[in-house]
Amino acid sequence: MRGVYLPGGRRVDLRDVPDPEPGPGQVVVDVKASTICGSDLRAIYREHLGEGPEAYQDVIGGHEPCGQVLEVGPGVERLRVGDRVVVYHISGCGQCDECRRGYQISCTSSRRRAYGWQRDGGHAERLLAEERDLLVLPESLTYLDGACVACGFATAYEALCRVALAGGEQVLVTGLGPVGLAVGMLAAAMGAPWVIGTDPSPERRALARDLGAVDVAVESDDGEVDGELDDLLGDGAEVTVDCSGVGAAQLTALRHTRRHGRCALVGEGGTLTVEVSEVIIHRQLTVHGSWVAPTWRMAELLERLARWDLHPERVVTDRFALDDAARAYEVADVGAGGKVGIVRE
């Protein structure tokens, strides 16, 4: 089969590799869709930055896969050939406290392996996965929907659950990339009547408006948006979510969280300098760091997306074949559109 490797320096290698064979408790997935995440660009594609959980170990890339069960190994009991599945992109030890809570993303064992980072991922024709890492995809959702859930939409949903978004509350999203779009779409589905987004990119602001992910999209330039947001939000939004990973936008989110409100920091990276007393303590904010989602929350999201008839693939603006993976990464790296998908449906 063919698989995509990311050697750094904005290069993409398409290699022929042996087809995977399942061992005990393992499943071979026929990959139908695999999307590109901002963390792939930040820490692998441009250059290999990470250590530990973010260390890339020359494996097939892509940690957002979805597909159909092609073959099962001994001891597989829950899944059958032909099942449609989403891959939870961290394979944890299953024994530490974090894994027992479903947060394999925070697995503390040296045996932790991320698909597309330390074990082969979804930018390939087939993927070898542990049965425990697979969630059934509802029939009403597409494979591309599932790929978008595998990381981005699950991350957005976890953040909104962390801040306990209630119907009727206003939401501010800073950063309107794919995760920011997901936050806006999910917030509306969860009852938010008014979602405002900020982003420096005119293309991304326009896309957010066109998708209905936000009611108003405000141009941000190094965080210089306070006056316009004051006019729009008054005392601030009850819930704010930063998806930018940029310090100025993170500060914007905090400064425009209403007193006693809740803020989730989701975007990776950035250095945040904040007047703690003035911005957080005296306004009695609750601030959450939110990193992906547990498996049970992802399963809950899949069920709710089917109930809401909400299709995450709407945030995908560019689709490419596996042979065109290099071009797919080039487009994703520009950062002017929505999600980029490598599709084999």
Instruction: Please tell me the predicted confidence (pLDDT) of residue 182.
Output: 98
Read out DSSP for 68-116? Answer: EEEEE-TT--S--TT-EEEE-SEE--S-SHHHHTT-GGG--STT-EEBT
**At a CB cut-off of 8 Å and minimum separation 6, what does 122 contact?**
31, 34, 60, 62, 63, 64, 65, 66, 67, 87, 115, 116, 147
Q: Per-residue pLDDT tens for 198-233? A: 999 999 999 999 999 999 999 997 556 888 999 999
Q: Per-residue pLDDT tens for 133-169? A: 999 999 999 999 999 999 999 999 999 999 999 999 9
Q: How far is CA 235 from CA 13, 283, 318, in A?
A: 50, 11, 38
CA 15, CA 4: separation in Å to the nearest integer? 6
Instruction: Give the 3-state secondary structure of residue 258.
Output: strand
Q: How far is CA 218 from CA 110, 160, 345, in A?
A: 43, 21, 36
Q: Residue 189: is its pLDDT beyond 80? A: yes
CA 306, CA 138: separation in Å to the nearest integer? 7
Q: Per-residue pLDDT tens for 167-179? A: 999 999 999 999 9
Q: Residue 127: is its pLDDT beyond 80? A: yes
Instruction: Please tell me the predicted confidence (pLDDT) of residue 99.
Output: 94
Mean of all residue pLDDT scores within the chain: 95
CA 136, CA 326: separation in Å to the nearest integer? 30
Q: Residue 241: is its pLDDT beyond 80? A: yes
Q: Per-residue pLDDT tens for 54-89? A: 899 999 999 999 999 999 999 999 999 999 999 999
Residue with token string 């250095």: 271
Bridge partner list, 67? 31, 85
Instruction: Please tell me the predicted confidence (pLDDT) of residue 224.
Output: 63
